Structure 1
Amino acid sequence: MQATPSAPSYSPGHHLLRNAGWFLAVPLFFLVLVTLTLAVTVTGYQARHADRIYTGVSVWGTDLSRMTPPEAEQALAAAFPYAQQQAVTLTDAATGQSWSLSLADLGMSLDAAATANVAYQIGRGPSAAEDVRAQFETWYYGRQVAPVIIIDEARLDPLIAQIAADVDRPPVDAILSFDGNQVGYTPAQAGRALDKAQLRTELLAALGDLRHAQLPLPVIALQPRVADAGESAQRIQNIIGSPMTFYLQEPLADDDLTRMEIPPEELKSWLHVEAVTQPDGTLTQNVTVDENGVRNWLMQISDRLYRAPVNARFYFDDNTQELVVVEPHVSGRQLDVDATVAEFMRQVYTPNRSLPFVVTPIVPAAHAGATAAELGITELVSESTTWFAGS
């Protein structure tokens, strides 16, 4: 019996699979090759930058590529010459005075070590993929790192205090002064003070910009409490500058009291100057004269001004049953103290230095116009003749 070998079976699918494997092997090979190449390149790049800043990192235009942190710190310190250069200019608009301040004056300095460390940490984060991307972008595009700036705000306060010592000027109140009967007047002067809080805020803002700044000095105007005493000075001068003269408008006789003066020294003793606080906090000078002073002075001379009245002299006419005036009456007078005080108080503050005594006339009961009936006379009571003159 003869066995006949069977013909080998043909499978098209197996042939296609073998061809596909061949075609896939080539890209996979290149993919693996590229991956290995990239891995070797990245590893080599990272190895070359071990303990060094990655290529492309710079601060303020200073290239820190492949520097160690200490080297970068030295390079940054050398590249930061601005500490003593003018950074801020302050100008006082009122006086034209100016102050030029450097960054060092303002307490600003570069922390070179911290800045170098920030530059070193680029491409060295917790994510390997992010690190590779950062390393590539830094190499390809470059990367600017913001410097770490230290601002010692405590240094600003003494600096601002020193400027304030040059700027501050306290307000001067208006002043009244006396030299005998002359009144002096010193006008008020407004003061000024540095707005320290505002200046501090503006200086810190200028430091944050890291560029030269021209700043007007913030100044607060200080108003004096006694702003104007000129009117008060004139009022006082009117009071004590010259005597106050009283006179009688209608003297009763040639030898009657004519004029009396209140000397400036006595007027000055009656003077009161009081500071009065206004709603806005300012003070004004309230100048007054003591009314009791002039009242007491008038009371002391009132007896010298008093005149008693003199009755009229009559004879009784039996035919007419009326009185016939032989000699007219003489009215008396007395000082009206209240009215004279009121007139004095109205006039003492003015340049007019003369005023009349205010007097009240005293008319006797037996005045020239009185009738017999008014005096209760109805007949001649007695009649006599004497040899004495004037009887």
Structure 2
Amino acid sequence: MGAIDYPVRRPPLRGNVNLFEQILLAVLAGFFIFGLTLAGAFLATRLWYAGRVLPGVSIAGVDVGGLSPHAAAARLVERIDYPHSGKIILRDGERVWVATPGELGLSLDPDASAQAAFRVGRSGPLPGRIKAQVEAMTSGIQLPPVLVLDQRVAYRFLSNIAREIDKPAIDATLSLNGTQVVVTPGQTGRSLDISASLVLITLQLQSLRDGILDLYIHEAAPVILDASAEADLARRILSEPLVLSLPGAEANSAGPWTIQPEQLAQMLTVQRVDTPQGPSYQVGLRQDLMIAYLADLAPKLQRYPQNARFIFNDDTHQLEVIQPSITGRQLDVEKSLRLIQEKIRQGEHAIPLEVMYTDPPVTDKMTGEQLGITELVQATTTYFRGSSSERKQNIRAAAARFHGLLVAPGETFSMAQALGDITLDNGFAEALIIIGGQTIKGVGGGVCQVSTTLFRNVFFAGFPVVERYAHAYRVGYYEQTANGHSDRLAGLDATVFVPLVDFKFTNDTPYWLLMETYVSDTSITWKFYSTKDGRTVEWNTTGPVNRVPPPEPVYRENPDLAKGEIRQVDWAAEGADVTVERTVYKNGAVYFKDTFFTHYEAWANVYEYGPGTELPPPDERR
């Protein structure tokens, strides 16, 4: 008989459900283990290196990790010998003077240097301390030494050199008596400019490097038979004010700047020059004083380039300029100095300054096609029904800072930097803010409605979040929906407190990103315009878990309130933990994943009352 083939019965497939659950549990376990490991490492490091500098910390190349501050200071004294072994060569032509930095007044403060190293990873907020510890143990942290410079020592050293250099002038000279030019006979003289040379030495010592420095020497011209021509030029220079201005006719531009003859006389100098006809005098303005004058003007003329601001016309799909671009401007001190010296010798007294201009990356003429801004990428709306008029004012003022703003491809955008100073002068009002573990009245309350909206738009658009901080407790505004309230929005808030707390994200696309903000009486909408790159977002949330009821109400006396007056200044909120997970796909494949964990403190009702006020019994307090 032949063999009989029996059909093989296999168990039914359960699909990939259990596999996905196992992977998810493994990922969550990994995050949990990583957190425990990080916390343990931080605690172990603090315990192991108690009283000692963290490993990886160096001062001027000297490793002081693992040492006590006292031992670190001793090692620095042993290793950093620049004040004693360095060489500063001061030169006047072929004559030189050699000094150590110590002989010029430089000394190391080893104790202060060691204390600076000891504070690494031990000062500031906890995230910063952890970051510093990780950085020290991985890539290392280099600190500069604390040095003390006694300029009086260098001044005495230069004074001794001056005795060798200085000699009286006996050549014919031109001199000034106020604004009067006087031709007097004399002799060639040389003098060391101790103040200018001291500045040069100070800068070199601060670099911690050896150097050869040419001393600043003032020379008087030798005997010259006829100085009348230059004397006449000096008189013409002092005959009227010198007027400096910006080139062209810029609207609302600074200037002009007028230097009166009395001040010009103090700037005027007479230098000896060699000509084919023999030695001569040349009248001009002192270079050091003019550089100082122009250097004082430079910040007033500084203007940083700014991109144009646009809105995207949803009908035409074209960009419309709402704020023109600004061309950057910077004073060219060197060219301006040369031009002034040249023109003033030609008898001119109205001289335009030399200015360098820089176009911003995005000008008014650029189109959406050039920038890759072709469509709406994401729009998110949050709600703030019940807000005070002051809070609404702050929301509008903050949102306006971002309307039409551009984020470059690859740029990490800082909300705090774009927001700038939050002051009454900048259009903000006083409203309730969360700071120092309590809700108080301060300038800018409500700005976090704007940061929360930006965070959610970034979240749902699928951009990487670089820095985000949640609020201390749950705020009802941030869980409002169009028609009510949703616990699913818990854990999707972000706070910004300039300049300490920031929200940052990265535009990781090859296209520019245009932001638009629109504020109504009860909502704010944030829009991103760019070009979609095939990314989609899936997310889930635990919702509020580990709920903790609000503590008992708190009553505290406020001497500014009247007797019998009771005012609520803080509102109860339930404590909870929320974990939000996000998966970003690009063209169907996983691009990246991230998790946002938020711990909300339980918050109590807080009341203030005037002195002598009779409080309700404990069982009647809300």
TM-score, reference length from structure 1: 0.45
Larger fraction in helix? 1
Bigger radius of gyration, 1 or 2?
A: 1
RCO higher in structure (CA 8 A, sep ≥6): 1
Larger fraction in strand? 2
TM-score, reference length from structure 2: 0.29
